[in-house]
A and B are shown apart, each in its own frame.
Chain A
């Protein structure tokens, strides 16, 4: 059974810092991995999608890496801003299955 863990559960940093969010998964037989952002009480906004054959993806100040063999992904946020405050969720799509398996998220607070 695929399990996804995100560490830390919550993180509070001052504005301007670079930070790393971690995601680990137990079964390396994944099709792809997707990082999402969720603002309080809202839906999910897709940030980055990494296919199982890729090592990383970049979008603006965000960079996501994937190490399938070790079951890990990281989301790097450069030069953090108060507007980055949200919950960040990673999810893996299992090969041969039709569902995303999510971690519980990291609640990020950027202090001005």
Chain B
């Protein structure tokens, strides 16, 4: 059973650019969620995808968008990057309803300069 894998591990972007982060779900899981974790803080929910549709969204602007593919993998896209977008981005997968909890990936460290 493979866990959640995220790519890339680290990324440096310039303010105003766009970025795409990728995530492969744990085998057997059908929902994918994305979280943003600023330094020294707990993760904050961005959104969740189920059946290739957004299934819940946190308090993030529309320039944060995502996709889920038929194989349950997912992308997080951020447009018009701002310095405050610098954070660790975590992907988590689960079965719908999260009865058995969430499995997280190792994260992508995004630095915006």
Give A contacts to B, CB under 8 Å.
4, 31-32, 34, 36, 41-46, 49, 51, 89, 91, 93, 97-105
Contacts and interface: CB of A to CB of B under 8 A. Distances in A.
Nearest to B107: A43
Size category of the B interface is: 20 to 34
A4, A32, A99, A101 pick with most chain B CB within 10 angstroms: A99
Nearest to B109: A41
Nearest to B98: A93
B45 A105 contact: no
Contacts of A98: 31, 33, 48, 50, 55-56, 98
A80 to B, nearest CB: 23
Given A49-B101, A93-B98, A99-B48, A43 B55 contact: no
A16 to B, nearest CB: 28
Given A43-B90, A43-B106, A32 B42 contact: no
Nearest to B56: A98
Interface string B99-113: 111111111010000
